A and B are shown apart, each in its own frame.
Chain A
Amino acid sequence: MDAEDLDLSGEVNPYPSSAVAQIADAGSTVVTIETPAVRRAVSMMEAYLAARDNTDHTPSGRVVAAVGDYGTGKTHLAAYLIRYATDRHAGAVQSMHLNAPPDTFVSLYRAFADRLGQRRELVHDRVRRYYADILAEELRASEATLPVAEQLASGALDPVRVVDRLSLMESEFLRQLRDRLRQVTDNVEFSQALTLLLRGGFEDAVWEWFSGRPPAEVLRERGITGTITGSESTALQAMGVFALLIGHGAHPFIVVIDELDQLLTAAGRREDEALDAFKEMLRVFAASNTFLLLAGLPDLLSSMRRDVRDRIDEQIVMSPLTAAEVQSYVLERQRGRLAPFTEQTLAYVVELANGVPRGVISLCHRLWRRARDQRSTVTHPMVRQVAREFYDATGLANVQGEIRQVLVASGYDTYVPGHLVGGTEDTRVDYWVPVGSEGAGCAILLAEPLLDEADVTGVQRRGQAIRAHADCELLLVVLGPPPVRFHDQLLEALGREALAYRPRSFVDQFAVEFKAMVARLEERYAPEGPLTTLAPQLARLDRRQSATQHMITLLAGSLDDLRGHYDQQLNAIHRELHEIQRGVSGGSADAPGHISVVTTLPAPVVQLFDDAFVSVDLMTPTRELLRRTFLDDDSGRTARQAVRSRIRLSQVQAATGITALLNALIEAFGHALVDWYRTVRSAPDGPLDVRHRERLDDLCRIFDAVYDYLPLYELRALRELVGQAGTAQQQEAEDVLSDFSERVHRELLSPFGTAER
């Protein structure tokens, strides 16, 4: 989360714009605030590392749970612990970070296996080490072979090559290896599969099985018949096996399972069998010399069975940041300077963010920028204003949409929006849901961020008025968490705690709250008459139906989330590819290297630049061609043939280099224009100064001169790569670029009424 953002003006905002931690964050810009939670976690890690260094063979495994709300720094803590251990062990630490899916342990295993599959060497190395140990034990028996034994034990010699080259009795050592692995993993099938990794030709079949697929024929014939993902129990058992295998290695092994609450609470469908298996997995991890960090929302622990919870060695609750801690953070971020903040404004930031690190950092980022733009220090009203904008970003309309979604899913589509409970304006609720009789119901009140006394007083008054006019269960939904000091006031006025809107969890939380409210009202207004005796059953049926509808909605929502997630990933990939391509041409680390360099120019000019970059892409079809090589059809075959026959040609490589130069030229031109435009805008309104006009002429001429100087004819070497279409596209692209500077010139001058060059 801690990468600094380069502001377009060139100044660096010391605070990350997106205070969302990534486990890969490891740069020197990362700052960790030493909260009590961090200190406890570090002491657990210290104990783990010390136990590992101890050679008395006592299991050193630790299972630690870190719980806290969104943005309280759980993932940051995980990344910090991995870095800490890596520093302590001079880099020799193995780690794995998993985001638990809102699904089953089978899905968790798939994520685990996926990560493991990307680092096969972790497993292969471990198996080879066991094999080397076995071989070393054998060779130590003779004085003649003792030096080789020592070299095997130290890892200097590859046991497979030693056995092969010296014609040692391989079958006997493989048998011993299988027995040893069976002892370590306590699993016959895994010991067999892992042993097969040392025999040529089985690796792919074994890794396919590890990935959760049914065993291939060659594995079944060797006694591996089960499918790891056949059940939650086998999936969890498999994770334990790998922990045993890797954890017994020389290096510390850290596994982080983030957002575990999602998995444990998803629709409340954790079967006892699966929980038993999970509990066993925790035991195995502890016994396997692995450091397992389970992270999740505060209800992670409460959603666990007590006996499962008892397997956790340490439970860490993420602590909110204090004003003093945030002050140290700011000083560190700003290299010892507090300005534009003051002690007081920082304390206010902490109060409005309830000390939640993500909120604090996001506010600091925005406040620093606002202060710089306004050339002022951060003030209390500015903090309030920025916080209001920050929490308001979701928009009431989105929250209303999610509320309606839950009400409908719960079978209460009879809700009344904008209902006046007592006939007066101050008794208006955003949603009224009649429940029971005698005018009772659930009232849902929606409020913008409650940041000061005035905000709270308004809500307080409305709450009291509503409750005075009707017997109702009242729930206040508020954008952003209200500061702690208002909690009691709100509790008294509303009868329950306000529900702060959080994008990812609101639907679930609101559904739970609403269900509880309805249940309480139903209890108070139990039905009477001939159907009274049937009422409980009817109510149960109704609830079941509601639950089903809710489940369908959740599933639909999950699919949307998933789609959104994949869309985001796809966009990120597109962006990265774009960056890479531009990065090649940019050639220096500080150049942004994409179209964003010109975003401050007028929209038509931005469009021209975008077209220009696209044109360069069209002129160099290499990327398209390489994409096609992976297609499983005729065009893929043709592409592969073309690549094989031409990719090594120096003309093709030269052409690719010219593409990079062309991109660099367009970008440099863009940078120069941005500077020019900033100067022009800062000048007094009126006609364009001659000096500015001439400068623009110069810039365009320079672009033309360099463009003409580029040996674009070299690009023709790429034409045949993608067939006739390539030739046509290239011509089209050359047309776009041939009068590029001319059109840019025209667009930039048109607002001044003098577009001729």
Chain B
Amino acid sequence: MNDGRRAQVTMPENPFALPGLMRDVDPLNPVRNEGHLSLYVPVDNTERAFEEFCRQFADPSYLRDDGRLVLTAGGRGCGKTSLINRCAHWLQQQLRAANLIGEVIDVTKEAQDNESMADRRAKACKALLDKLYERKVFASKLAYEHRHSPDDALSMLPTCLAPDRVLIVLLPPSEDLTEELVQYTADARRRMVFFAETSYDLPDEHRRRMDRAGALPPVHLRVGRLNPTDAGIFARERLSSVPPGALPPVADTALDEFTSHRLVPIGEIQRLLYGLYEQLRVQNDRPEEVTFHHIVHHFLRTAGSLLETQP
């Protein structure tokens, strides 16, 4: 075996690459890959938000009679979608205990930011019904036949499902269309749980209207920026799976120093460390540990690459 082959064989995996995902910015999704469950790290309030969700759905049997909207709010890169995926997965399991079958339908990519609310709702609704049809979960096709008319289709939907079937629908991000959330709250009828997300603050007026729009008030979850030690915790957790000596650890306070003084979301750290370890794992002479200097150097080099490729 020559040196090149040996190098290939011994090259460690990037601990910040997520199993089954092709991009460094894709969120954790245990619904698709159960292995992701062990990768959640309690940072930026996500753990508390998840606990709040579990509390709200500890006994999900009320979903037989009512639907509910779960709204996750927080800035871009703060882990909203990862939290939603975790909640959806957990709810699916929890429903089983209540003798219900949870069907997770992801329509997050079905509507664009720059479309009107009516168009977005129509597209999301049609995609939902198409996917349900594809999975053959309809007891009656009436709702499917009305899939081009969101009002009709969504109102008929509960009656077209088997009585033990609960839909867990992941909606397209609403961003600043907070009015849309009021509509989705009303759309979440019995045996339907809608997950929505927004990066924008919800005006009080909208929050009040959402509370009144559905049979049950929405569940509000919030994630935010990293706390001072969160980035370090995150890095340690990820690196814990690395065989000793294969890759250098991050020095104790290196990330704390990097994230203090400004708004840093977990997405930024994930991407930064992914890129940094992507280089470390292929280079022969690795440092003993990743210091503040290494992190800054990598950050500046990434930014510098944008400078070089300015249009």
Contact = CB atoms under 8 A, between A and B. Distances in A.
Contacts of A222: 176-177
Nearest to B264: A169
B124 to A, nearest CB: 15
Interface stretch (A159-167, A357-365, A416-424): A159-167
Contacts of A201: 112-114
B263 A156 contact: no
A167 B268 CA distance: 5
B77 A151 contact: no
B306 interface: yes
A169 B76 contact: yes
B292 interface: yes
Contact of A165 (B261, B295, B300, B306): B306
B130 interface: no
Interface in B260-283: 260-265, 267-268, 270-272
A121 to B, nearest CB: 12
A35 interface: no
A202 interface: yes
B261 A157 contact: no
Given A139-B262, A158-B310, A222-B177, A169 B303 contact: no
Interface in B77-107: 77-78
A213 to B, nearest CB: 16
B245 to A, nearest CB: 28
Contacts of A151: 303, 307
A138 interface: yes
A217 B303 CA distance: 37
Contacts of A584: none
A167 B200 contact: no
Given A144-B296, A161-B306, A218-B116, A171 B76 contact: yes
A171 B262 contact: no
A383 interface: no
A705 B92 CA distance: 89
A168 B116 CA distance: 27
Contacts, number: 103
A46 B61 CA distance: 77
Given A144-B257, A172-B75, A172-B263, A166 B268 contact: yes
A156 B310 contact: yes
B205 to A, nearest CB: 13
A264 interface: no
Interface string A180-211: 00000000000000000001111001000000
Interface residues of A, number: 32
Contacts of A165: 302-303, 305-306
B307 A142 contact: no
Contacts of B262: 138-139, 141-142, 145
A166 B261 contact: no
B107 to A, nearest CB: 19
A167 B310 contact: no
B57 interface: no
B147 interface: no
B75 A218 contact: no
Contacts of B311: 158
A147 B300 contact: yes
B302 A144 contact: no
B38 to A, nearest CB: 23
Contacts of B299: 144-145, 148, 166
Contacts of B175: 171
B199 interface: yes
A170 B75 CA distance: 7
B268 A200 contact: no
Interface string A355-381: 000000000000000000000000000
A148 B306 CA distance: 10
B117 A221 contact: yes
Contacts of A169: 75-78, 225, 263-265, 268
B162 interface: no
Contact of B75 (A139, A148, A171): A171
A170 B258 CA distance: 18
B202 interface: no
A275 B201 CA distance: 39
Nearest to B179: A221
Given A138-B263, A139-B262, A172-B263, A166 B114 contact: no
Contacts of A218: 114-116
B265 A142 contact: no
A378 B108 CA distance: 83
Given A148-B300, A217-B116, A157 B310 contact: yes
A338 B261 CA distance: 73
B58 interface: no
Contact of B114 (A144, A158, A168, A205): A205
A111 B69 CA distance: 48
Nearest to A155: B310
A678 interface: no
B25 interface: yes
Contacts of A167: 25, 76-77, 265, 267-268, 270-272
Instruction: Name the 7 nearest CB pairs between A and B, nearest first.
Output: A201-B114, A171-B199, A217-B116, A141-B261, A169-B75, A144-B296, A170-B76
Given A145-B262, A167-B271, A201-B113, 20 more contacts: A142-B262, A144-B258, A144-B296, A148-B300, A161-B306, A162-B303, A166-B272, A167-B77, A167-B265, A169-B78, A169-B265, A170-B77, A171-B200, A199-B114, A200-B114, A202-B114, A217-B116, A218-B115, A221-B116, A221-B177
Interface of B: 25, 75-78, 112-118, 175-177, 179, 199-201, 225, 257-258, 260-265, 267-268, 270-272, 292, 295-296, 299-300, 302-303, 305-307, 310-311
26 contacts: A138-B262, A144-B257, A144-B258, A156-B307, A158-B306, A158-B310, A162-B303, A165-B306, A166-B271, A166-B299, A167-B271, A168-B265, A168-B268, A169-B75, A169-B225, A170-B75, A170-B76, A171-B175, A199-B114, A201-B113, A202-B114, A217-B117, A221-B117, A221-B177, A221-B179, A222-B176
Interface of A: 138-139, 141-142, 144-145, 147-148, 151, 156-158, 161-162, 165-172, 175, 199-202, 205, 217-218, 221-222
